[in-house]
Chain A
């Protein structure tokens, strides 16, 4: 399933997002990188239906996103926020079960099938044994995995991950990125991920999109597009690209 942006404009009081003629490849990992305030999260939220888009701006497999009902959109796109923004301490499994909301009518409760799908999602992220534990008992890394599982329960074709590795230790960083890679390769999901860590972006992405001040500054395959002057333009500090063990790393 591909996502095509025709002419996306979104404005906050002091900021506006302006992205034109962009497509993200199906079943591949595309990462959005750039400095703070570049609009990465805003772009992701617009695609994910969290922020409103207008007619003619965003297309999903040819269908206008703004004309889609939330339910339909949520069956195709799963948006994973950085954290859970509420106060109740649900069981992990009940938490993941909420991902089935797009498939359930207003007055219905999850069926056995829904529960099975939720457990499948938990299994895929490796947390099936945590089904009956409480969300707030988990570590940050584990909580992120649960959020991803919840999005997986939506059975989406597209996954949007907002800074999934931030504040995590290296082990968990790698764990999440490996999971992402598997999701693209094994499950054929189209992944869009915002990252602060350029090294991770280089290592795992099929395409990198550099954003600056609300627009896409440049994009392309990491091997092709990466150069030091591009980095300096985007991030406004000098960086060096270093090769080690066949991989590229960024040094500030």
Chain B
């Protein structure tokens, strides 16, 4: 590999890392309610110096600070969480088909949300119960499958079984629920960022941030963990402890993301692969880049959702519409075998 290629890779790496920041600012401009760049600038400045623009309409400020900003930040955080989590689990399980929901989080969260919406009603934030059951599902998987040292396949299989269990419970709740709460539930299940408010972010974003941070700190370690158990042990790694740490952090961040945004598919599966196709498999780069790229990816998908129609189309539609062609394009283009 010659010097110019190394330079080119570095450039790509750095640009992808800072892309989310640019996208965040551009995204603030996008939406049904038309705001000119000048007005947007004034609105943003008014947050810093409130007195400077007293005539700014309240609607403008509400749109930017109460509707768009929380939504975009949520897209950023959730995109980063799901991607970094998917990337980590793929390394851990040495399996490129693994995604962040493999240990039962999605159905655990869905069941929790259903319980909350149906039985606790509007007075209780859905997030909390969804989060508890998401974590509970993974705890059940780890408990049943035995120590994390046990065969990867048994962890995956247990994950599938627990998911099926919660899925069945979910159907049961739907069946017995009064029809009045079902609309809210179905809407939640589709996965969307549309009703994001600051109070929702206040609970979940710190948790997501902690999970993402830990996983990024563990990035080199994941290279070693991606070896066979035998090799990793021979290299002096306490497999059980380190794998658990990865699983716990990944679970924390995914559960926090899912409990507030619902189930958004494809992100944790596609983004890490896109990243590996661009930058190789070294997790020192893959993990942080997955977070950044995932954030950009979801922000972009949400921007498209907001531009395309006045209705709310589930964001999962766009993560696949963007993700899959991008995947095919990069796949065809990548000369080296990365897997």
Which A residues fall within an 8 A CB radius of B? Answer: 45, 48-50, 69-75, 78-79, 81, 84-91, 94, 97-99, 101-102, 104, 106-110, 132, 134, 136, 150-151, 154
CB neighbors of A among B235-289 (8 A): 235-238, 242, 245, 280-282, 284
In the complex, which of the residues A84, A89, A102 contacts B281, with contact meaning CB atoms closer than 8 Å? A89
Nearest chain-A residue to B228 (Cβ)?
A: A85
* Contact indicator per residue, chain B 225-241, by CB within 8 Å of chain A (1) or not (0): 01110111111111000
Which B residues fall within an 8 A CB radius of A? Answer: 1, 91, 94-96, 217-221, 223-224, 226-228, 230-238, 242, 245, 280-282, 284, 336-339
Q: Are B230 and A50 in contact, with the CB atoms below 8 A?
A: yes
Q: Are A88 and B226 in contact, with the CB atoms below 8 A?
A: yes
In the assembled complex, the Cα of A69 lies from the Cα of B219 at a distance in Å of 22
A101 with B336, Cβ < 8 A, contacts A84-B231, A90-B281 known: no
Set of chain B residues within 8 Å of A79, measured between Cβ atoms: 234
* 19 A-B pairs whose Cβ atoms sit less than 8 Å apart in the complex: A49-B234, A50-B233, A50-B234, A69-B238, A71-B238, A74-B237, A78-B234, A81-B230, A81-B234, A85-B227, A85-B230, A85-B231, A86-B226, A86-B228, A88-B281, A101-B224, A104-B220, A107-B217, A107-B221
- Most chain-A CB neighbours within 10 Å: which of B217, B233, B284? B233
A94 with B282, Cβ < 8 A, contacts A70-B237, A101-B235, A134-B336 known: yes
Query: What 14 additional pairs, Cβ within 8 angstroms, besides A84-B231, A89-B337?
Result: A48-B234, A70-B236, A74-B237, A75-B236, A81-B230, A84-B228, A87-B94, A87-B95, A90-B282, A101-B236, A101-B237, A107-B218, A109-B284, A134-B336
Nearest chain-B residue to A73 (Cβ)?
A: B236
Q: Are B236 and A106 in contact, with the CB atoms below 8 A?
A: no
A68 CB to nearest B CB, Å: 10
In the complex, which of the residues A74, A108, A132 contacts B236, with contact meaning CB atoms closer than 8 Å? A74
In the assembled complex, the Cα of A49 lies from the Cα of B232 at a distance in Å of 10
